[in-house]
Structure 1
């Protein structure tokens, strides 16, 4: 296999070597501003600089893999004025681009809503967005149901 033809695998963290996990942790510190230099980041996680540079181009958090894709989120919302508007405002605040909205007729005070979002410019990651939407008053459930 050459670098021109990379293959990707989805692997559970608990089976990865410690150096790869620590590389991902160091990259996370750098991306979130919790470390300002590679030296500081690798020192915080207990990794050598050489190991960091060896693995840094090959390890990415799952949420980063989804950049630039279209995700579909399913929500169960209370049938009250402004709940859907709050959802859309929160998506816009993190630079998500809403492509489609499909809302079912409310039954027993709740309505199912499906929103397709383009994530190329998304600030933060999908897990943060889902948590943010879940915390909106009137939202009963949020699920990431698809990605393309």
Structure 2
């Protein structure tokens, strides 16, 4: 039976320099700033062999989260269009919404829980959350669970 990979959250200053350089090279390539691995590794001062050894295992936290099912918890105003605006952001990002639960509003606020598969998104989870938080009527948004 194939063993599932294990992941750890480590503060960046504790990581060996090679891991940070791989992350920098990945960012250069993903942004389109640089088009080849050779150029990216040269820019960050890393050997190509070290890059290829670690490239698939090093991802920023929110990028790694895009490969999973994430359950978000929100507190929203009881106003027409707020939930619709939130769902539009999910749709534009490429997230696949699996479930939506909304409580009955109390004092003009409703709790909303949204579970979404985030692997197809064209932005980071952090960017998605920032865009949703900018919607008038969204008071709070946090990650409740990751699978």
What interval of TM-score do these two structures reach, taking the shorter chain for normalisation?
0.7 to 0.9
d(CA) in 2 for partners of 1:37 and 1:67?
Answer: 24
Looking at structure 2, the residues matched to 35 and 92 of structure 1 have their Cα atoms a distance apart, in angstroms, of 29
Q: Distance in 2 between matches of 1:140 and 1:95?
A: 23
Contact 2:96–2:117 under 8 Å retained in 1: yes
Which position in structure 2 is the counterpart of 1:16? 15
Q: Which runs of 5+ in 2 are unaligned?
A: none
Q: Is the 8 A contact 2:68 2:117 kept in 1?
A: yes
Judged with a 3 Å threshold, the aligned counterparts in structure 2 of structure 1 residues 68 and 15 are, in CA distance, closer, same or farther, namely: closer
CA RMSD of aligned residues (A): 2.0
TM-score with structure 2 setting the length: 0.86
Which is further off, 59-68 or 77-86?
Answer: 59-68
SS at match of 2:127: helix
Corresponding position of 1:136: 135
Runs of 4+ in 1 over 6 A off after TM superposition: none
Q: Which residue of 2 aligns with 1:98?
A: 97
The separation in 1 between residues aligned to 2:37 and 2:30, in whole angstroms, is 11
Map of 1:61 onto structure 2: 60
Number of residue equivalences: 145
Residues 10-29 of structure 1, C-alpha deviation per residue, up to 9 Å, x if partnerless?
A: 32211111111111111111
Instruction: Note the alpha carbon deviations across 1:80-108, whole angstroms, 9 max, x for none.
Output: 11000000011000111111111111122
Per-residue deviation, 1:40: 2.5
In the TM superposition, 1:1-148 aligns within 5 A as 7-148=6-147
State which drifts further: 104-113 or 80-89. Answer: 104-113
CA shift, 1:5, in A, is 7.7
Q: Distance in 2 between matches of 1:5 and 1:84?
A: 36
TM-score, structure 1 as length reference: 0.86
Counterpart CA distance in 2 for 1:72 and 1:9 is: 20
1:79–1:111: 8 Å Cα contact kept in structure 2?
yes
